[in-house]
Amino acid sequence: MEVRDRLVRRGALGIPLLVLVGFGLYVLSGGEVRADWRPLPWWSYTLNFAWMLFVGGGQEEPGWRGFALPRMQSRYTALGAALVIGALWAGWHLPVFFAPAWGQAPPFVWFFATLVAVSVITTWLFVHTRGSVISVIVMHASLNSMTNPPPVPVGLADFGGAFMATLAAVSWLTAMVLVLLFGPTLQVRARRPVRVGA
């Protein structure tokens, strides 16, 4: 239980760190930042996280990782299932790119690349918490609360394609490190649907 709790905390903290590293690399590489842009206070992230945890994208996880991933692992490795789900997950969001009010400004190609990589990271967390849906809900909510404006705008989604390209690169680098370090656990196929835990 202690190991699971540590991984959940790292999932909650690791994704904001990943986004901030991507943002830092974007700025260091000469990425444009609007003169009027200011980071919001820490508590705005907390409010946004609560929104995403109970109402926003975190609630997709009982479907993606709670239902689909365990069943797909009886046909594919965890890594293979993560790649397939990542592509489906990105495709699920495609309609919002045609609705400007939702704030999905970046080119879809970078959004797609980022989500497939994040799917590998999320699957790693799911596997290493013995199928904890709560842990991946927390991770998903932490990602959304760093990159999506409503209800409290954090602002990182406003930087567009160049930032998203950097975030995609950082996400893939992180996913590849996890695959290199934990490859055996991500290459296993389950003989039956994986049991899902809390």
Task: Write the pLDDT tens digit of every residue in 118-138.
Answer: 999 999 988 888 888 988 998
40 inside domain: no
191 inside domain: no
Q: Which residues span the domain enclosing 154?
A: 2-24+45-186
pLDDT exceeds cutoff 80 at 109: yes
Structure tokens at 177: 């490190």
Give the pLDDT of residue 154: 45
- Give per-residue pLDDT as tens, 2-30: 655 565 566 666 777 888 888 888 888 88
142 inside domain: yes
Average pLDDT over residues 60-81: 90
Give the pLDDT of residue 197: 53
Q: Are 118 and 143 in contact (CB under 8 A)?
A: yes
16 inside domain: yes
Percentage of residues in the chain having pLDDT higher than 90: 23
Q: Mean pLDDT in the chain?
A: 79
Among residues 35, 191, 69, 36, which one has the least CA distance to residue 140? 69
Name 46's Cβ contacts closer than 8 Å, sequence gap at least 6. Answer: none
Average pLDDT over residues 39-68: 83
pLDDT exceeds cutoff 60 at 70: yes
- Buried residues in 168-187 as b, exposed as e (16+ CB within 10 A): bbbbbebbeebbeeeeeebe
Number of domain units in the chain: 1
Residue 133 CA to its chain's centroid (Å): 14
Angle, to 10 degrees, between the axis of helix 78-92 and the axis of helix 108-128? 140
Average pLDDT over residues 151-164: 60
pLDDT classification of 67: cutoffs 50, 70, 90: very high
pLDDT exceeds cutoff 50 at 54: yes
Q: Is the peptide bond before 151 cis (omega within 30 degrees of 0)?
A: yes
18 inside domain: yes
Give the pLDDT of residue 51: 85
pLDDT exceeds cutoff 80 at 56: no
